[in-house]
Amino acid sequence: MTSPLPSHPVSADRLGASPSRASLGAAAHASDDHDDTIVGSTEHSPLLSPAGAEHDFHIHDHSAGGHIPFQDQSQTTKSVWYLVALTISIGGLQVAWACELSNGSPYLLSLGISKSLMALVWIAGPLTGTFVQPYVGMLSDNCRISWGRRKPFMLGGAAATTFCLLFLPWTKEIVGGVLGLLGADASSDGVKVVIMVVAVVMIYVLDIAVNTVQASIRAFICDCAPSHQQGNADQHLEAANSMASRLVGIGNIIGYLAGYIKLTDYLGFLGHTQFQILSAIASVCLCSTVIFSVIVIPERDPRLDGPKMANQSGIIDFFRSIFAAIKRLPPQITKVCVVQFCGWIGFFPMLFYTSAYIGDVYVQPYLEENPNMTPSELDELYEKATRVGTFALLIFAITSLLTNLLLPFFIDPTYDNNPTLGKSTPQSPVLTTNDEGLQKWLAPLVIPGFTLRRAWMYSNILFAIAMTCTLFARSVGMATVLIGLVGITWALTLWAPWAIISAEISRREVIARARKQRLSALSQRTIAGPSSSTESISDDDEREQAEPEPDKAGVILGIHNMAIAAPQFISTFGSSIIFRFAQKPRGVPGDHSISIVFALGGFFVLAAAWFIHKIQESSPLPADVISVAEEGHLTQQSGNNGGLSDKSRDGPRGSMDRASLARSSSFSGVEY
């Protein structure tokens, strides 16, 4: 259930900064000797493939003057409605996630599965997230269907998810009916075991299907959104990942609100249990939003990208590249991965056991008052408890969304607004006059020194305190408040790590692209004037050209995804052990095993807060790279100077000052 990222997606992100293909080539009519294509550092990313709708950079070789204007065709600004249509499918998917998270654990418990076994069932999340998402990413990268490389996986994954959502809550009726036709007694222990096995299998199939559609949607967003709108956009421009983050929050609220309402009183024709009706609603939301995005948003014909990649033939090659890249991981990203490893030991049980925890708190006084309830009375009590637990998740989702919307105004920005290479088109200015005025009006809201890193650290401390307090919460109101508070932590967990990773990846890519632009310009001048070749290309330039490319964004995000998935295995097995010794049978009062798991998870999140303290604030770009990024092109120079012109060095510095007023954009990489 991780995305890498998201999953994902990388402006952040699964996925923040988007992989892109930088094509530096001569004009179409130029000779082969003048056609030079340089692939950007994030090309062929198995998790986030290049958009490819337009090449990022073009060098037009005007043989007469040798002028080399750089034009970033992906900088055309899209409307807010376009971004809504592009990202709305991830909101529909989130309704399905909310359905599974709020009702999955109570449903498994109602079938007779113990809490210790239930914990092992949820290992499906990290297992499928680790292997399915990168594999789907590679398959879609190599897809050559005319109507798009991502759309087939979006539709196929949505269809499979819908089937699982409609089958899972009816498992007892379907399996019991089929075995009844074969002469088995529906109330026998053997039939109950078969029902539990089929339900567990469907959980795994559902997670595979959900991860398939999630990975393809994240890549679809990265492919179809202009690169400058995938992150680091100002607040008037709803950046793609920021829009996706908001729609994830809205999807959460819709899913949990529907789960809290007693649907059997209004939509009884869809099923006779809350879970059955909620699954039908989630299926409609997912299918309608995915179909809408597929129909409305055009995708580039992948056949134009040439044959399939031969060097990305299988998932083993992908993981081999990941393990090799771990040794080269930048220190800043390494620290983020350590934080995620510790933090997700505590986040995982909170996500999957919250509704069951609130339900346990809710049923305690009823069980103490009447310890001899009939099975039907217990089912009715626990169904109401599930709705109460879903209400706590609704408060959690609202808190997370409000944090997502409001907190950026108070953050002292350090990781946002990395410069991009290439001039913005007239339709997409960096900041218009109105934007600048609004940003100056919002500037007093910023709390000096309250950086994103510090906010992330404080939120982890808050999480640890809240989870420890669950040991002592004996009322539904108190327990709901504690779950609502950790919504703040969750909002920052879906924002801060991807923002930091995105900033580092963007910084590395900007440096690499600036070096390529400079070397390409020198090469073009060498072709135009052979006598200046020794003057233009120095030993330093040759060494720069020989430097290895930075790791692809997909590889870095794959490592980050592993840092999220691995602790989920640890958390799953640890929870299973605790449940084995601390749980009580269903219907017996005094079961506080989930709060013990929460408290121990809070300890690891507190350790994560300590490691966040060691993360550095953003690293500045070299001065010459900033100049190239701001100017967007290289100007001609004379003499022996192979560097940048004075205009490129000293020109549009004001854009960086304006950028310092912009707020950090939120990003959701893992959709829970």
State residue 432's pLDDT score: 37
Closest residue by Cα to residue 94 from 257, 220, 251: 251
| Residue 668 burial (CB count, 10 A) | 35
- Spatial distance between the Cα atoms of 479 and 470, rounded to a whole number of angstroms: 7
pLDDT for 466-500, tens place per residue? 999 999 999 999 999 999 999 999 999 988 888 88
Q: Angle at which helices 452-469 and 331-369 pack, to 10 degrees?
A: 30
Q: What is the pLDDT of residue 320?
A: 76
* pLDDT confidence tier of residue 328, bands split at 50, 70 and 90: confident
Residues paired with 412 in a beta bridge:
451
Residue 589 lies in a domain: yes
Count the neighbouring beta carbons within 10 Å of the beta carbon of residue 596: 17
In the chain the first and final C-alpha atoms are separated, in Å, by: 8
Check residue 435 and give its pLDDT: 58
Cβ atoms < 10 Å from Cβ of 79:
10
In a domain, 16, yes or no: no
Say how far residue 438 (Cα) sits from the centre of its chain: 29
Distance CA 658, CA 410 (A): 17
| 585 vs 133: which has the higher pLDDT | 585
* Separation CA 205–CA 202 (nearest Å): 5
Count structural domains, the chain. Answer: 1
Residue of 106, 128, 130 whose CA lies nearest to 118: 106
In terms of residue numbers, what domain contains 136?
32-634+642-659
The verdict on residue 13 lying in a domain is no
Q: Which two tokens stand for residue 115?
A: 């809490």
pLDDT at 52: 36
Tell me, yes or no, whether 365 lies in a domain: yes
Q: What angle do CA 48, 54, 55 make, to 5 degrees?
A: 85
pLDDT at position 609 is: 98
pLDDT at 625 over 80: no
Q: What is the mean pLDDT of residues 63-79?
A: 46
Instruction: Inform me whether the pLDDT recorded for 582 exceeds 80.
Output: yes
Confidence (pLDDT) at 275: 96
C-alpha 368/C-alpha 315 separation (Å) is 53
Question: Residue 448 above 70 pLDDT?
Answer: yes
Task: Check if the beta carbon of residue 582 is closer than 8 Å to that of residue 115.
Answer: no
Give a yes or no: residue 5 inside a domain. Answer: no
204 occurs within a structural domain: yes
**pLDDT one-digit tens code per residue, 214-264:** 989 988 887 787 655 454 433 333 456 678 878 888 999 999 999 999 999
Whole-number Å distance between alpha carbons of 559 and 569: 16
What span, in angstroms and rounded, lies between the C-alpha atoms of 618 and 629?
A: 17
CATH number of the domain where residue 331 is located: 1.20.1250.20
Q: Taking residues 336-341, what's their average pLDDT?
A: 96
What is the spatial distance between Cα 417 and Cα 503, in angstroms, rounded to a whole number? 8
Closest listed residue to residue 99, CA positions, set 292, 229, 271, 318: 271
Residue 423: strand, helix, or coil: strand
Q: Given phi > 0 = left and psi -120 to 50 = alpha, else beta, which region is 515?
A: alpha
3-state secondary structure 345-374: HHHHHHHHHHHHHHHHHHHHHHHHHCCCCC
Out of 211-220, 369-378, 507-516, pick the least confident: 507-516
In a domain, 3, yes or no: no
Give the Cα separation of 26 and 520 in Å (integer): 11
Give the residue from 166, 210, 162, 167 showing the smallest Cα distance to 6. Answer: 210
Do 462 and 488 meet the contact criterion of CB atoms below 8 Å apart?
yes
Please, are residues 379 and 641 in contact by the beta-carbon 8 Å criterion?
A: no
Tell me which of 416-420, 525-529, 617-621 is least confident.
Answer: 416-420
Q: How far apart are CA 229 and CA 276, in angstroms?
A: 39
Q: What is the per-residue pLDDT for 274?
A: 95
Residue 334 has pLDDT above 90, yes or no: yes
pLDDT (tens digit per residue) in 12-51: 333 333 333 333 233 333 333 333 333 333 333 333 333 3
Q: Report if residue 275 sits inside a domain.
A: yes
